[in-house]
Amino acid sequence: MIALLQRVSQASVQVGGQIVGEIDAGLLVLVCAEPADTDVQVQKLLAKLLKLRVFSDEQGKMNRSVQDIQGGLLIVSQFTLAADLSLGNRPGFSAAAPPALARALYEQLLRQARASHPKVAAGVFGADMQIHLINDGPVTLPLRIA
> Active site residue: 38, 70, 80, 130, which one?
80
pLDDT at 37: 98
Is 79 among the residues known to form the active site?
yes
pLDDT at 116: 97
pLDDT at 126: 95
- In the chain, where are the structural domains located? 2-138
β-bridge mates for residue 140, sequence order: 6
Q: Return the CATH class of domain 2-138.
A: alpha beta
CA distances 76 to 5, 28, 63, 89, Å, are 10, 8, 25, 26
pLDDT at 92: 94
Averaged pLDDT, groups of 10, the chain, 146 residues long = 98 98 98 98 98 97 97 98 94 96 98 98 97 97 97
pLDDT at 25: 98
Is 38 among the residues known to form the active site?
no
Is 80 among the residues known to form the active site?
yes
